Amino acid sequence: MNQKIKTIAECLDELFPDAHCELNYQNDFELLCAVLLSAQTTDERVNLVTKELFKIYPTAKELAKADVKEVEKIIHSIGLYHNKAQNLIKMARSLDAKYDGKVPKDKEALTSLSGVGTKTANVVLSEYYDLPYFGVDTHVSRIAKRLNMAKDDDSVLKIETKLMRLFPKSRYKKTHHQMIFMGRYLCKAKKPECDKCPQGIKKYCRFSACDKDA
Ligand code: SF4
């Protein structure tokens, strides 16, 4: 790690030593469903609907046989619920038919499932299987840009590649969660709390509204 990344990593360790996945899950199937549902909504909302969803459909086999209207009823309080209900059922059918209900430990296989994009696959592979992947969501992307680790017009894929080059593999999972915590609780999209941001991070920040002396 270069000096800048070392300093940022140290600050993140101090700020968020216990950063972790805030989605509730008991197994690989539940984690995949939860991450798939988490697009454009909060983990809190996902946890509310998955509590009910996993009670009725605890395995891929059961979800594969679900009626889309029934699933929609359960998840209707989260964004894009219509598409998500369809994707959940299609994804469960593939899991059941091709992988015996288990979530594949392979990125290509994962991204071939309905509703599973690169971010979802990376999060599951890192969170559940401890494999060196870096999930880039809206928070990670914003922090990477504000801290000049990526350019404003970089694609998600480019940001992922840059972060994987900057941080050692052993830190991918932890840094991913710490950047999400930072985006949720400190460096918020509209009103970042720059007065609470440590100097070690602030000195690298290029967010125009940030007052470096605050
Ligand atoms: S100084 Fe403000 S905008 Fe910059 S990283 Fe810290 S909280 Fe975010």
Q: Identify the residue whose C-alpha is closest to ligand 1 atom 8.
A: 187
- pLDDT per position as a tens digit, 60-73: 999 999 999 999 99
Residue 198 and residue 11 in contact, taking contact as beta carbons nearer than 8 Å: yes
Task: Give the contacts of 132 (CB within 8 A, at least 6 positions apart).
Answer: 126, 164, 169, 172
Residue 192 Cβ inside 6 Å of ligand 1? The answer reads yes
Percent of the chain with pLDDT over 90: 95
Residue 205 Cβ inside 6 Å of ligand 1? The answer reads yes
Distance between CA 126 and CA 135 in Å, rounded?
A: 8
Length of the chain counted residue by residue: 214
Say how many Å lie between the CA of residue 93 and the centre of ligand 1: 43
Phi, psi of 71 (to 5 degrees): -70, -40
Please give the domain boundaries of the chain with CATH numbers for all domains: 3-19+135-202 (1.10.1670.10), 28-127 (1.10.340.30)
Atom of ligand 1 at shortest distance to CA of 196?
7
Q: Is the pTM of this model over 0.85?
A: yes
pLDDT score, position 1:
82
> Residue 212 above 90 pLDDT?
no
> Residue 214 above 60 pLDDT?
no
> Residue 209 above 80 pLDDT?
no
Angstrom CA distances, 4 to 11, 38, 166, 180, 199, stand at 11, 31, 10, 19, 12
Task: List active site positions.
Answer: 119, 137
Average pLDDT over residues 9-38: 97
Residue 60 and residue 95 in contact, taking contact as beta carbons nearer than 8 Å: yes
> Residue 137 above 80 pLDDT?
yes
Distance between CA 134 and CA 168 in Å, rounded?
A: 11
Helix, strand, coil shares, percent, the chain, to 5: 60, 0, 40
Distance between CA 198 and CA 39 in Å, rounded?
A: 30
Residue 146 Cβ inside 6 Å of ligand 1? The answer reads yes
Task: Give the contacts of 117 (CB within 8 A, at least 6 positions apart).
Answer: 111
Residue 8 Cβ inside 6 Å of ligand 1? The answer reads no
Binning pLDDT at 50, 70 and 90, where does residue 122 land? very high
Residue 35 Cβ inside 6 Å of ligand 1? The answer reads no
> Residue 210 above 80 pLDDT?
no
> Residue 45: how many CB atoms within 10 A of its CB?
15
Distance between CA 176 and CA 155 in Å, rounded?
A: 17
Q: Identify the residue whose C-alpha is closest to ligand 1 atom 2.
A: 194
